[in-house]
Amino acid sequence: MFRNQYDTDVTTWSPAGRLFQVEYAMEAVKQGSAAIGLRSKTHVVLASVNKASSELSSHQKKIFKVDDHIGVAIAGLTADGRVLSRYMRNECINYSYTYESPLPVGRLVVQLADKAQVCTQRSWKRPYGVGLLVGGLDESGAHLYYNCPSGNYFEYQAFAIGSRSQAAKTYLERKFESFMDSSREDLIKDALFALRETLQGEKMTSSICTISILGAGEAFHVLDQETVQRLINEFEVVGEEPPANEAAAPDAEAAAPGAAEGAAPDQGAAPMDI
Amino acid sequence: MPKQQANWSPYDNNGGTCVAIAGADYCVIAADTRMSTGYSILTRDYSKIIQLADKSVMASSGFQADVRALQKVLAARHLLYQHQHNKQMSCPAMAQLLSNTLYFKRFFPYYSFNVLGGLDSEGKCKGKGCVFTYDAVGSYERVGYSAQGSGATLITPFLDNQLKSPSPLLLPAKDAVTPLSEIEAIDLVKTCFASATERDIYTGDKVEMLVLNASGIRQEFMELRKD
């Protein structure tokens, strides 16, 4: 992957018409821990894997509330993500102040994309090393966007970014057609399943994942650990295959109380609430 | 040629009265709902009160366009605070913010006479009522009760008679907050407005009262004379 000659500067093209610095920035996104987003007609769920640099430290905050109707999950250089979240929050506040109505999500992502593009065309800057999954609800419905370090943005029904996101994407590709009409609870469950795919065998507990939701009549908020642990217990009991889950749902209700004792909320590396 | 005087003013006075009383575990903030200009009534149903945070409520009389602008600035600043600190602003913090915001426009002031009421949320004063009173450029003081606006001169002497406590600087330290119960305080506020309405032409129509206490916030209305 060494393309040394034309990659010193973001303002240098390669003969093949590529900007290597921008592509390297997108690599940074792939190295970050996974973040997943899905949306239905009325709700958007954002989920992320909590990666802590060591057992002694807290995990990095990857999901941010931007406004009551917009949330963002990031993957890559979380410092860059934090800065961009602050920018998004300011934009929402200023728009609300001027127009006394919530900033449409589509507008915000364009502003974000334009901001990222600037960093790909100035020799004294570097591209943001973070991919953002922006979920929001406005007059035109629920939306999920992915913003790239390149300055591109795309709208998605469901998407996953970061390390081992391909596994989640495979799961989402199988199920995405049903998401538009999904209920709020099913959407959260699908997010957990997709997140589990990225863990690839690692034990799934509420301390390793963060789930957030926003929707019609529901401001953006992160689900608390107990709720998440309860949801995990519900589907762990039933077994591996999600399609089997629907048929075995009555059993799950009966078995869940028994399983609850065995999988109490894991207080291990509790997230640092900044 | 004699010096030309401005025949236009950027300010207008929309009248109205605001009152706030702090209790041991509650706070009452009230304002009438009449909006006037000159000798005319613009509307009988305008709220001068806004809830800025969980435990902070502001009532303002004066020039309502400036009041509205001030309310928007404070609301935006509170959102920012919440993003940065992950919690709601306490009433004393909001009080300082309001003072700074007003002084920021020291040389073109907000024509807004404010009372800020709420519940203290710090340390041993947790849950106690607090009232802060302001002038148009941000000079403020924590008090046990306050009135601002066109009916203030009629109401304040009455509240002094009913509520005034010895100075908190005396030893042993005495509370500035009234020992009255919540019901008694609300009744007092209603009496104040009924009296002010009699003699102040800018006060009347309805009084809107907000009561903050440990169980949350409650709103009450009372009809006043319409003349």
pLDDT of residue B165: 76
Q: Nearest-5° angle of CA A169, CA A175, CA A180?
A: 110
B56: nearest Cα among B152, B130, B2, B3: B130
Main-chain dihedrals φ then ψ at residue B112, nearest 5 degrees: -140, 125
What span, in angstroms and rounded, lies between the C-alpha atoms of B1 and A261?
A: 93
At A104-160, the pLDDT tens digits run 999 999 999 999 999 999 999 999 999 999 999 999 999 999 999 999 999 999 999
pLDDT at B166 over 60: yes
Residue A40: which residues within 8 A CB-CB, separation 6 or more?
A: A142, A179, A180, A181, A182, A183, A184, A187
Of B76, B83, B86, Cβ closest to residue A97? B76
Local confidence band at B168 (pLDDT 50, 70, 90 cut-offs): low
What span, in angstroms and rounded, lies between the C-alpha atoms of B153 and B131?
A: 18
Average pLDDT (A6-14) is: 91
pLDDT at A84 over 50: yes
SS3 B134: strand
Q: Nearest-5° angle of CA B66, CA B67, CA B70?
A: 85
At B117-147, the pLDDT tens digits run 999 987 676 789 999 999 999 999 999 999 9
- A89–chain B nearest CA distance, Å: 8
Average pLDDT (A57-81) is: 94
pLDDT of residue A59: 83
Helix (H) or strand (E) holding A135: strand A130-138
pLDDT of residue B214: 92
Local confidence band at A2 (pLDDT 50, 70, 90 cut-offs): low
At B30-78, the pLDDT tens digits run 999 999 999 999 999 999 999 999 999 999 999 999 999 999 999 999 9
Average pLDDT (B164-175) is: 75
Of A97, A273, A274, Cβ closest to residue B72? A97
Supply the mean pLDDT for chain A: 86
Using a CB-CB distance cutoff of 8 angstroms, which residues of chain B are in contact with residue A93? 76, 79-80
B67: its two tokens: 């009041």
Using a CB-CB distance cutoff of 8 angstroms, which residues of chain B are in contact with residue A97? 72-73, 76
Using a CB-CB distance cutoff of 8 angstroms, which residues of chain A are in contact with residue B86? 273-274
What span, in angstroms and rounded, lies between the C-alpha atoms of B164 and B145?
A: 9
Local confidence band at A239 (pLDDT 50, 70, 90 cut-offs): low
Q: pTM to 2 decimals?
A: 0.86
A85: nearest Cα among A169, A147, A4, A167: A147
ipTM: 0.87
Q: Which amino acid is at B191?
A: T
